[in-house]
């Protein structure tokens, strides 16, 4: 079974962030639809990672993936206070950032 990683997109059309999951076995053209406004973000994925490459006809037809509507937010995922709290854990009465 392929591992999945969380990926965040920023939609300039509606000024919102949303999350989606990428599998490490994903390679080729992919289109990510903003769940808030429907704007399409075109990306080339290689082994589950977004590359700087553009869509190309050699990679075949783009698969459309709709972002997770429950993850729409105005602040980036990594800057969200709730996310920051989940990165902390208690140790001897203090807090350290999880690696």
pLDDT tens digits along 18-74:
999 999 999 999 999 999 999 999 999 999 888 888 887 777 777 889 998 999 999
Classified as helix, coil or strand, 82 is helix
Report the domain count for the chain: 1
Which residues in 38-59 are b (16+ Cβ under 10 Å) and which e?
A: eeebebbbeebebeeeebeeeb
| pLDDT bucket at 92, cuts 50 / 70 / 90 | very low
Tokens for 2?
């392929």
Tell me which residue range forms the domain holding 83. Answer: 4-97
| pLDDT bucket at 90, cuts 50 / 70 / 90 | very low
- 2 pLDDT higher than 70: yes
What pLDDT does residue 83 have? 63
pTM of the model: 0.71
Helix ranges (DSSP H) in the chain: 81-86
Average pLDDT rounded to a whole number, residues 64-87: 79
Q: Rounded to whole angstroms, what are the CA distances from 42 to 8, 33, 72, 79, 81? A: 14, 9, 19, 25, 29
């Amino acid at each position: 079974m392929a591992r999945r990683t969380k990926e965040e997109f920023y939609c300039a059309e509606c000024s919102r962030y949303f999350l989606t999951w990428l599998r490490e076995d994903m390679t080729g053209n992919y289109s990510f639809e903003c769940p808030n406004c429907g704007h399409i973000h075109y990306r080339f994925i290689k082994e589950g990672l977004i590359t700087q490459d553009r869509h190309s006809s050699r990679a075949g037809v783009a698969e459309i993936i709709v972002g997770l509507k429950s993850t729409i937010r105005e602040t980036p995922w990594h800057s969200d206070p709730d996310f920051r709290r989940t990165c902390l854990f208690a140790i001897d009465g203090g807090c350290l950032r999880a690696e």
